[in-house]
């Protein structure tokens, strides 16, 4: 089943994985959840002083159930640090921001979303469209590599748990893929 994470990162849907591997779709889902459940989110490295933070919109189940994936990357290494799935509210974004603040980063770069001004201390916050080029590129890569995040497709996530599992595999599965 070492092929499953590679297929996730190559924009193959659940049914496509089932056909390729000649197993049931339910088995694919169980195995993806198992793989994601065993992944350990890496800790923020002490030399990661500047972080970029952004959100990407997607849907769960149907178009009426809009949700947001907010995630952070290290500006220097471009590696994902953490993510959350939920609404784009102060309550949900504060979870991600406080995890970055507890990791003692020095600067947090965001777009001009007004929620961030209330969450991030002024001396740490840089809000300028030119400072988040790397994470915007990551947004494009996410939409390209994960079929469930593409804008005009019939592929979507039926549950937040499955979306979280696929993102965990994409972000933190060993780099041998």
The 10s digit of each residue's pLDDT in 15-56 is 889 999 999 999 999 999 999 999 988 888 888 899 999 999
Q: Residue 86 is part of which domain span? A: 50-149
**Distance between CA atoms of 98 and 9, rounded to whole angstroms?**
29
Residue spans of alpha helices (H) in the chain? 3-9, 14-21, 25-38, 90-102, 114-119, 133-145, 160-172
Q: Same structural domain for residues 107 and 165? A: no
- 15 is a domain residue: yes
Q: Same structural domain for residues 117 and 64? A: yes
Q: Same structural domain for residues 103 and 18? A: no
Q: Same structural domain for residues 80 and 114? A: yes
Q: Same structural domain for residues 16 and 59? A: no
Domain of 120, CATH number, reads 3.30.420.10
- 177 is a domain residue: no
- Minimum mean pLDDT range among 48-52, 134-138, 143-147, 155-159: 155-159
- 29 is a domain residue: yes
Q: Which residue has the tokens 């005009």?
A: 152
Q: C-alpha distances in angstroms, 130 versus 15, 107, 118, 144? A: 39, 15, 21, 22
- What integer pLDDT is reported at residue 165 of this predicted model? 92
For 91-130, write each residue's pLDDT tens digit. 999 999 999 999 889 999 998 888 999 999 999 999 877 7
**Contacts with 57 (C-beta within 8 Å, 6 or more apart), sequence order:** 66, 67, 68, 69
- What integer pLDDT is reported at residue 151 of this predicted model? 66
For 69-91, write each residue's pLDDT tens digit. 999 999 888 899 999 999 989 99
Residue 175 — pLDDT band, cuts 50, 70, 90?
low
Beta strands across the sheet bearing 62-74:
80-86, 62-74, 50-60, 107-110, 125-127
Q: Same structural domain for residues 97 and 142? A: yes
Specify the number of domains making up the chain. Answer: 2
Q: Same structural domain for residues 95 and 140? A: yes
- What integer pLDDT is reported at residue 9 of this predicted model? 84
- What integer pLDDT is reported at residue 70 of this predicted model? 94
Q: 107-110 and 50-60: which strand pairing?
A: parallel
């Amino acid at each position: 089943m070492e092929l499953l994470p590679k297929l996730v990162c190559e924009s193959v849907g659940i049914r496509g994985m089932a056909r390729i591997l000649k197993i049931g779709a339910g088995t694919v889902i169980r195995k993806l959840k198992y793989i994601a459940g065993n992944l350990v989110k890496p800790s923020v490295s002490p030399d990661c002083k500047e972080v970029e933070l952004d959100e990407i919109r997607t849907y769960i189940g149907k178009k009426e159930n809009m949700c947001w994936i907010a995630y952070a990357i290290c500006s220097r290494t471009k590696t994902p640090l953490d993510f959350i799935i939920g609404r784009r509210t102060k309550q949900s974004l504060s979870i991600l921001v406080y995890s970055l603040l507890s990791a003692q980063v020095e600067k947090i770069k965001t777009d001009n979303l007004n929620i961030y001004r209330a969450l991030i201390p002024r001396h740490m916050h840089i809000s300028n469209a030119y400072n988040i080029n790397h994470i915007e590129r990551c947004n494009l890569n996410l939409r390209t590599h994960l079929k469930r995040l593409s804008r005009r497709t019939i592929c979507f996530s039926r549950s937040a748990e499955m979306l979280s599992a696929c993102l965990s595999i994409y972000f933190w599965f060993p780099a041998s893929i």
